Structure 1
């Protein structure tokens, strides 16, 4: 019988940390109240990548909140006896923007292409007119520009920072700034979250899978049809399934 968890509980899937949460938005807002930290959205593909990339593995392990973004992770948790709902990162990120607009929080956006960032700024100003966008930079910067951009971003001490640099770069970049964030005099770190292709969806340059595909847990197929070049990355999905089925230790938790 699956267990229902009423408070966040950290466990692992194939050795990669993940938090079982009854309400990921509530957990994120509570984290903000405590001073902030890094949020990671874990799916099967990222889980397998973290097992092969030590830097990504360290970033996830150090994150303050790791939510079950993918259906594969939800399924793996179910095999451990945890009843948990899938929590798409794009939906949590949008909820954070809505809360930021309501609460007067400062928001920073980092990543995507110059065109997408410009369109996104206009879209958010139209849809969330009260949102305070304090910092918006695209991800196609020269390497020499990043140190100054990071200094400016940290000096602003935003409440929410959404980063669309792709996996694993967005997670390792956020993790790499952790020491500087916690060293701020005011110790106001804000919520830092990698959001993958969310900026493209919000800007209208890409579409999310239809809801019926989400219910059938085949959103991966929609992404593959949109971006056939992802096929090599999608090979992680059967590898993940096979690894979970063989993970006797995971079943004993």
Structure 2
């Protein structure tokens, strides 16, 4: 059930090549085998080049999925045909599986602006009445409140912990604190809370199908253009790696 996953390095970072990420991770969730899930994209790869702590966190994760179009492009250049696995969709699958497993598999929502995680959790509980919510905290906690959160996680040990703090903060926070609840499935969900809460929308299906979801995100958040400069840099490095 938990056999070693195939993986391929993307600029030194592992990407696991699974046919069914949902099933593999769902089995671990069911058996309460601890996992850190990283949703890798080109921007994160470029950040990891200058952030060793982030690179280490990715290396130690039990599952690194190809979330971004850039990662899929890199794999394709190296002859690896892999389907993109959007992190938001994997997180949604885990929520559905947790609800199906019942009240003994509670979920914790942590991150986002005040009120957003609560709205996201409420929206999911309306869709999935059997979903057990272990707790909800926004991402703007005081040091004292964050310490209280850590005590809660250690005491309650939720089965699934969704962390929406953005990259790289969420990956670093999970790597630092996952010992508090070692049997949990931890996944950084970025801005997914905003989408679940109805504050933002995902790209239309035709953009997602053509690996252009990043373009829609730039349309929604034009202030991200500086960060998006990592995409052409990544593409150039990917081509140079292949030629080398």
Structure 1 unpaired stretches of 5+? 1-5, 183-188
Alignment of structure 1 residues 81-230 onto 2, 5 Å: 81-104=79-102, 105-182=105-182, 189-230=183-224
User: Cα distance, 1:179 vs. partner?
Assistant: 3.5
Structure 2 unpaired stretches of 5+? none
Matching of residue 18 in structure 1 with residue 15 in structure 2: yes
**Correspondence for 2:240:** 246
Distance (Å, rounded) in 2 between the aligned partners of 1:132 and 1:125: 8
Deviations 1:163-222 (A, max 9, x none): 00000010000000134444xxxxxx1100000000100110000000111122211111
User: Closer, same or farther in 2 for the Cα pair 1:206/1:12, shift >3 Å?
Assistant: same
Distance (Å, rounded) in 2 between the aligned partners of 1:34 and 1:19: 20
Whether contact under 8 Å (2:119, 2:197) holds in the other structure is: yes
User: Cα distance, 1:34 vs. partner?
Assistant: 6.1
Distance (Å, rounded) in 1 between the aligned partners of 2:24 and 2:66: 13
**Correspondence for 1:8:** 5
TM-score, reference length from structure 2: 0.93
Matching of residue 38 in structure 1 with residue 36 in structure 2: yes
SS of residue in 2 equivalent to 1:75 = helix
Whether contact under 8 Å (1:8, 1:22) holds in the other structure is: no
User: Cα distance, 1:118 vs. partner?
Assistant: 2.6
Distance (Å, rounded) in 1 between the aligned partners of 2:28 and 2:14: 17
TM-score, reference length from structure 1: 0.90
Whether contact under 8 Å (1:139, 1:165) holds in the other structure is: yes
Deviating above 6 A after TM superposition, structure 1's stretches of 4 or more consecutive aligned residues are none
Whether contact under 8 Å (1:13, 1:77) holds in the other structure is: yes
Distance (Å, rounded) in 2 between the aligned partners of 1:91 and 1:125: 17
What's the Cα RMSD here? 1.7
Distance (Å, rounded) in 2 between the aligned partners of 1:164 and 1:7: 28
User: Closer, same or farther in 2 for the Cα pair 1:79/1:7, shift >3 Å?
Assistant: farther
Whether contact under 8 Å (1:112, 1:199) holds in the other structure is: yes
Q: Residue 26 of structure 2 is aligned with which of 29, 36, 42?
A: 29
User: Cα distance, 1:36 vs. partner?
Assistant: 1.7
SS of residue in 1 equivalent to 2:190 = coil
Distance (Å, rounded) in 2 between the aligned partners of 1:35 and 1:223: 34
Matching of residue 52 in structure 1 with residue 46 in structure 2: no
**Correspondence for 2:69:** 71
User: Cα distance, 1:7 vs. partner?
Assistant: 7.5
